[in-house]
Chain A
Amino acid sequence: MIAWFIGVLGIAMIVGALAAVHLKQTVPAIIAAGIVSLFASVLYLLLAAPDVAMTEAAIGAGLSTVIFLYAVYKTRSGESEK
């Protein structure tokens, strides 16, 4: 059962990663990358690495997603000024 769940999570991560690469718009791509991190953190938890799972959930899925969004916002507002 847990092996199936791990497999499903792995496939979901690959799908999310492909979406992050292939999506044309930046913001959905960032969200997809955050989703990959979220699945990864659940996967770490299942693979008995709660320490890494906490880091991945807080930094990978939470902070870095928002930092990317802030960065995109900043670069875009610079472009529109010209």
Chain B
Amino acid sequence: MIKRAIALFLVLFFGYVFTTLLLNWHPWTELIGVARYYVSHELTELGATNLVTAIVVTYRGLDTLGEVTVLFLAATGVSVLLRRTTITLPSPGPKRQSSEILHTATRLLTPFIVMFGAYIFINGHLTPGGGFQGGAVIASAVLLLFLTNPHQALNHRILKTIESLSGATYVLVGILGLFLAGGFLDNRILPLGEPGRILSAGAIPIIYTCIGLKVGTELANILENLRGPATSPVLEENEGRAQ
């Protein structure tokens, strides 16, 4: 009875709070506060034509570093949790070969998807998108490879090297900003250049390339860990060819 009374009270309370919020809500007709500052000063200050990127990488750069760290920890957690159990499952019958359409489409599309991902993060300061989006697109190309061939192996040494190098470069660029420009992760350690050019907006292209590579390799790693180890690829491939 008391539980129900408390529940009823909570529902009524939140209903009251949200109703008052909704009734007093007016849409903003103009930008206010920090948003107005960003919109009016960003292009001359940081030189990136994509405002979102300028905010994500520079004004709120520390948050982005935190997000990258969170993703890194998540990827590490997945690999630690899944590596420990070396499950030797009895394979549930021979796996069905993926269809010819999927094979051909994968072979045709994978390079272009990777290239598109690279395009997204290299142009992060000019057009919508950036490191996270580009990295996710690259990881989806890896996913397509896994869907087509469940035994696709990834070169872990290269992945690890790319991942740690890009992470270290990201932090290094941030620290350089501390000495050469206005603060941690300030992009003005390099000349801003002409807005709209690919080599402009200071260090933003470098940072977003690092983030893109890091996110791409980490997501690919998560996918590979979840898929499980590549087992006896030679045998199954031969079987597939024999058919």
Q: Which residues of A contact B (CB under 8 A)?
A: 50-51, 54-55, 58-59, 62-63, 66-67, 70-71, 74, 77-78, 81
Contact = CB atoms under 8 A, between A and B. Distances in A.
A51 B92 contact: no
Contacts of B223: 63, 66-67, 70
A63 B133 contact: no
Interface of B: 50, 52-53, 87, 89, 92, 120, 128-130, 132-133, 136-137, 139-140, 143, 219, 222-223, 226-228
Contact of A62 (B92, B140, B222, B228): B140
Contacts of B140: 58, 62-63
A79 B132 CA distance: 35
Nearest to B222: A67
22 contacts: A50-B129, A51-B52, A54-B120, A54-B133, A54-B136, A54-B137, A58-B133, A58-B137, A58-B140, A59-B136, A62-B136, A63-B136, A63-B139, A63-B223, A66-B143, A66-B223, A67-B223, A67-B226, A70-B227, A71-B226, A77-B89, A81-B89
Contact of A77 (B53, B92, B143, B226): B92
Contacts of A81: 89
Contacts of A55: 132-133, 136
Prevailing SS type, chain B contact patch: helix
Given A67-B223, A74-B226, A54 B128 contact: yes
A56 to B, nearest CB: 10
B154 to A, nearest CB: 15
B224 to A, nearest CB: 10
A74 B78 CA distance: 13
The 5 closest A-B pairs by CB, nearest first: A58-B136, A50-B128, A70-B226, A54-B133, A51-B52
